[in-house]
Amino acid sequence: AQSVTQLDSHVSVSEGTPVLLRCNYSSSYSPSLFWYVQHPNKGLQLLLKYTSAATLVKGINGFEAEFKKSETSFHLTKPSAHMSDAAEYFCVVKAGAAGNKLTFGGGTRVLVKP
């Protein structure tokens, strides 16, 4: 079994300040982990993924995430928020013998203030 917990349902930041979105997972197998972003009225776009290579993963639009096995975490960060970062973000785990199902966290909605 696998599960994902996004610790904040809403995050509000000022433009130009750092963004931190927290994600904890549980999995009986070595997981692959993903962050997706969903802008209003849009589909989901992959930001970055971890698949057992480097633990610090860089993604698009200046985002990065660090896989910490000891803490079962995969937090997403960005040094400086931009207005266009306002969206909902999903942490996702994929693991197991079947390796076919994505399990989503509940999502974190990011508000960026001018």
Partner 1 sequence: DADVTQTPRNRITKTGKRIMLECSQTKGHDRMYWYRQDPGLGLRLIYYSFDVKDINKGEISDGYSVSRQAQAKFSLSLESAIPNQTALYFCATSDTRTGGMNTEAFFGQGTRLTVV
Interacting residue ranges for partner 1, rule: CB under 8 A: 4, 9, 32, 34, 36, 42-46, 49, 51, 90, 94-95, 99-102, 104-107
What's the gap between Cα 38 and its chain centre?
11
**Residue 9 or 84 with smaller CB distance to partner 1:** 9
**Residue 92 or 112 with smaller CB distance to partner 1:** 92
CB of 18 to partner 1, least distance (A): 24
**Residue 32 or 77 with smaller CB distance to partner 1:** 32
CB of 71 to partner 1, least distance (A): 21
CB of 69 to partner 1, least distance (A): 16
